[in-house]
Structure formats: structure tokens, C-alpha cells
Amino acid sequence: MEKHLEPSKLDIKIFDKKNSRPFAEASLDNKEVYELRDDTMRTPLEKADVFEQLLQTENACELWIVPVIESTSSFTQSLSEEKASALFGMLSSFRKNVQRDRTFLVLGPDCSASMKEKVKELGYTILPCEEADLQNVTVEY
């Protein structure tokens, strides 16, 4: 079965310049920033399906993907899904740091507030971000 997809209005930006600080280097005037987390135990195919649904938005928003390295214990404490937290808890017993991609939804004036609801309906955890915290997000891999 062949799918025909329209071009997405969701602009995906991937930051890969090591030690850069994307939020410190960009203007966030008139923008709201939320971190998206998928703490569910979905399979990779299920995650891909949900991400495809996210791409089908009619809102002109941005999705920023920033690779980071953080301590496994701090990452584990931030997880809301109990099973995922337990899994990474085991990982922390033999791995000090974890590399992961942090995903941020950047809502500008052209992006509908309904986008936050759509993200929640798709099962993502959406966390508001403080500008001061965003200034410290650094690309690491």
C-alpha cells in the first residue's frame, strides 16, 4: 500500500555542531518552547507511526532536535513512565552517562495553540521550558 504524504508544515531543525548552544544563538522573541518526551514503551515502528502523524500537522511550527550527553541518573529521574525509568535505572548501574536527543517544539505566532493538544493526544509528554534553562542546552555527542 502506497501512502501519499503532503509536505509537512513542521520545520525540523537538527543541531549537530559540537559545543554549540542553539537557544543562546537564536532569537526566541514571540515564541514558546516546550520539550517533547516520549517516555512510553512503544516499539520503534509505533514511534515512527506517531512521528508521522506529528508531521501531518497543519501548523507552521518548528521541531528542534539537539543531541546531548547527561548523567544516566538525572535522565532516569526525569522519566515519567515507571517501566522506562526502571529500565534506565538498570542501565545506570553500569553506564555513567547517556547520549540522547532532546526534542523541542518551538511555537511561533503562526503556530496554533491546538498544536500542544495534538502533541499530547499522540502520547508525548510536553514540558514547558524556561528561557534561562534553554540557554544552557549544549550540543554534545
CATH, residue 66: 3.30.70
pTM beyond 0.75, yes or no = yes
| Residue 5 included in any domain | no
Is 68 within 8 Å of 35 (Cβ atoms)? Answer: no
Q: How many domains does the chain have?
A: 1
List, for the chain, all residue ranges whose pLDDT scores fall below the cut of 70.
Answer: 1-5, 72-94
Four-point Cα dihedral 36, 37, 41, 42, nearest 10: 20
| Residue 92 included in any domain | no
Residue 59: give the domain boundaries: 11-71+97-134
Predicted local distance difference test score (pLDDT) of residue 4: 61
| Residue 84 included in any domain | no
Predicted local distance difference test score (pLDDT) of residue 113: 74
Collect all residues with Cβ–Cβ distance below 8 Å to 106 and sequence separation of at least 6. 28, 31, 32, 33, 61, 62, 63, 64
Q: How many Cα atoms are found within 13 Å in the side-chain-facing hemisphere of 125?
A: 12
Note the pLDDT tens digit of each residue in 105-117: 999 887 777 898 8
| Residue 43 included in any domain | yes
Distance CA 117, CA 134 (A): 22
| Residue 57 included in any domain | yes
| Residue 63 included in any domain | yes
